[in-house]
Structure 1
Amino acid sequence: MNYIKQLNSFYNKIQNDPQIAPCQIALYNALYQCWNKQRFADSITIIRDEIMRLSKITSKSTYHRSMKLLHNNGYIIYEPSYNSYVGSKVHIIDLTKTSEKQKNTQSKNGQAIGTPMKRGSSRNDKPMETPIKTPIEPLYKHINNKTINNSNCLYTQAEIFMKKNKKIQSKNEVNQDGLVKVEMTQKEKSSAKKEKGIIPTLEEAKSYFLEKGKSTIEAEKFFYYFESIGWLVGGKTKMKNWKAAANNWFINSVEFSKAKNYAAQKPLDTSPNKRYDEPL
C-alpha cells in the first residue's frame, strides 16, 4: 500500500465530510502512526492512553465519540475490547480504492453525457432535459409591483406635517391662555388678601392707633417691627389679623412701661463711714 496516496485520499475525502472536525483528524493521524509502526498490518491493536497521548485528546468522551464517527463514516473499522488487559482492534480502510472507484464512475458519467447520437436512434428520442429552476419570488414583491407617485407622496407628507404643526400651535396657544388665566387668578387672590386686611399699610396702622387713643409713633414702631420680620407672629406663623396683633401690642407696651417706671433698689452701703443709726 502506498501510504502517501492513503493520506491524500483521506484529506480529499474529509473535504466533503462536514462531520469531521480537528479532533477526528488528530485521532486518525495517531492511528495512522500506530499502523505505520506495525508495518501496515490488516488489523492493529491499540491502547487508549497511547492513542489519546498521540492525538492530544484529553477527554475520554471526545475520544470515544471521535472513534465512533470515524467508524460510521467509513474511515476505519473499530472493534473495541471491553477488557482492560487486551487492547482494541482497528482496521484501516484502504481509501485509495474508494477514490479510484469514484473517479471511474465520474468518467463514465461524463462519457455518457458527451456521446453523440447513434444512427439507429430516432429523432423522437429526445435527450433528458435538465429541470429549469423557477426563480424564487422575493418577499418584497408586493412592494415592487406597486406604482407609487412620488409627487403625491411628498404632497401628502407635507399636508400631514402642516396638520401636526397646526395642532401643536393650537395646543401651545391654549397652554399660554391657561397660564395667563392662572397668573390673573393669582394676582386677584393676592389683591383680595390685601383687601381683607391681613397686611396693613402705614396709614391704616396710624389711623387704627389714633382710634384706640395711641400715638402715631407707636403705630410706626408696630408697623416697622412686623415689616422687618415679614409679618410673622413669634417669628414662625403668618399673621392672620393685624388688628388683634395691634391690641396685643397695646397690652405689652403698658406692661413694659410699668416695668420701666419701677425704681431699682439702692445697693447696700458697706463703707467704713456708714451710719447705722439711719434706716435702710
Structure 2
Amino acid sequence: MNYIKHLNSVFELFTRDSRLNPTHISLYMALFQFWNINRFPEVFYINREEVMVMAKIGSKATYHRCLHRLHDWKYIRYLPSHNPYKGSQIQMLKFGTSSGSNTGPSSEQVEEQALVPYININKQNKNFNKHKLPKNENEVLDFFKKEKWPANEAKKFFNHYTSIGWKVGGKITILDWHSTAKNWMLKGEEIQKEKTLYGPSQKRDNLKIIKEKDYGQPL
C-alpha cells in the first residue's frame, strides 16, 4: 500500500465530494493516523474516545453519524462491536492502488452538506482524564491468557508500552489498552503469516538505509 498515492487519491475524492464537511475529513484523517500507527493492517481496533480526541470531535452523536456516513459513502468499512469489552474495528478502503482499481465512492456526488458540529470543550477535556491503563503486569498476563496468547508475548507488550509511557506510536496517550493489545495481536498474526510464507529474514539490518523508500511503511 503506497500511502502517498492513497492520500493523493483520497484528497482528490474529497475535493469532488460535496457531501463531505470538515468533520468528515477530520475523522477520516484521525482514522488514517491510527491505521498508520498500527502499520497499515487489513483491519484494526479503535477506541472511540481516542479517535474523538484526535479528530477534535466533542459530540458522540456527531462522531457516530460521521463514522456511518464514511462507511455508507465507501471511504471506510466500519465493523461495530456491541460487546462493551470488545472494541469496534475499521477497515480502510484502499485508493490509488497500482492496479488502478479503487474501492470507494462513485463519481456521482450527492449534493448534501452536513452542518459542522459544535464541539463541547468541557466534554472533550473529560475524555483526557479517562486513561484506562492496566494496574500491573498480572492484569496484562490475564488478558493475554484469556485471548489465548502466550505469557511471553504479554510481557513484551507490557514492557514495550511501559517504556514509552503507554502512548500509541510514542505520541498518543492510550485510553483503552485492550484495543491496543488486540492491535498488537493482529500485527503478531500478520508477522507470523509472513514468516510462514517467506521464511525468516536473513542478514536483516534494521539500521541499513535503502535507496528505494517503502511508502507502504508508516509515516
Bigger Rg over Cα: 1
Q: TM-score, normalised by structure 1?
A: 0.35
Q: TM-score, normalised by structure 2?
A: 0.44
Structure having greater relative contact order (Cα 8 Å, sep ≥ 6) = 2
